[in-house]
Structure 1
Amino acid sequence: MVAYALIGIAVVAEVFGDSMMKLSNGFQRKLPLVGTVLGYGIAFYLIALALEHLPLGPVYAAWTGLGIALTAIVGAVVWKEGFNVKKALGLAAIIGGVVVLKLGV
């Protein structure tokens, strides 16, 4: 169960890193750049820990799929990038794919 929590925290850390990258303005602003490196560093470390207990395919699928979904939600809410039916269907397909991979283990 701890390994799944590590994946969840890694997803949040990655989305934090993505958001800081957006704030960095093409790496022109230094403090958000530090946030980007920290976010990704924490995410990779936690995924490495999760991989000690779980198989690679489902872990990577969950991490990337949930990261994409949460990043899209943050983009829509925080950055006002919009959210429509096509994006919702795409996210549902990604999450469905993660579930199918998990069921195959």
Structure 2
Amino acid sequence: MMAYVYLSVAIVAEVIATSALRASEGFTVLLPSAISIVGYVVAFYFLSLTLKTMPVGIAYAIWSGVGIVLISLAGWLVYKQLLDLPAIIGMSLIMAGVVVINLWSRTAVH
């Protein structure tokens, strides 16, 4: 169970870091640059804790799938970036894969 808590923290930190990376304008703006660096350090630390008990493939599938959707949502809310129908369908399929892994995979957590 703690693996999912660690993975959730890692995903949220990575989404914050990536959103701030966009605002850093190539690491030329100090505060968003610092947020990005700290966010990625936190994200990878908590991902490393996750990998103590969860297979790397499963952890990465969840990390990337949820991260894609949350970063797209942040881009829409913060930066007014729009998604077209194929992008929304594709992300829905990614989230369906994450749900399948979490509900039916026996390899998710040892």
Same fold, TM exceeding 0.5? yes
Check if 1:14 corresponds to 2:14: yes
Gaps of 5+ in 2: none
Partner of 1:36: 36
> Match of 1:59?
59
Tell me the distance in 2 between the aligned counterparts of 1:42 and 1:89. Answer: 31
Hey, what's the Cα distance between the residues in 2 that align with 1:76 and 1:32? 18
Looking at structure 2, the residues matched to 12 and 4 of structure 1 have their Cα atoms a distance apart, in angstroms, of: 12
2:88 is aligned with 1:88:
yes
Q: Which residue identity does 1:96 align to in structure 2?
A: A
Runs of 4+ in structure 1 deviating by more than 6 angstroms, as ranges, are none
Residue aligning to 1:5: 5
Cα offset for 1:23? 0.9
> Amino acid of the residue matched to residue 22 of structure 1?
R
What's the counterpart of residue 26 of structure 2? 26
Following the alignment from structure 2 to structure 1, what is the Cα–Cα distance between the partners of residues 18 and 56?
23
Equivalent residue letter for 1:73: L
SS at match of 1:27: coil
User: What letter corresponds to residue 79 of structure 1 in structure 2?
Assistant: Y
Aligned residues: 105
What RMSD over aligned residues (CA atoms) do the two structures have, in Å? 1.3
Return the TM-score normalized by structure 1: 0.91
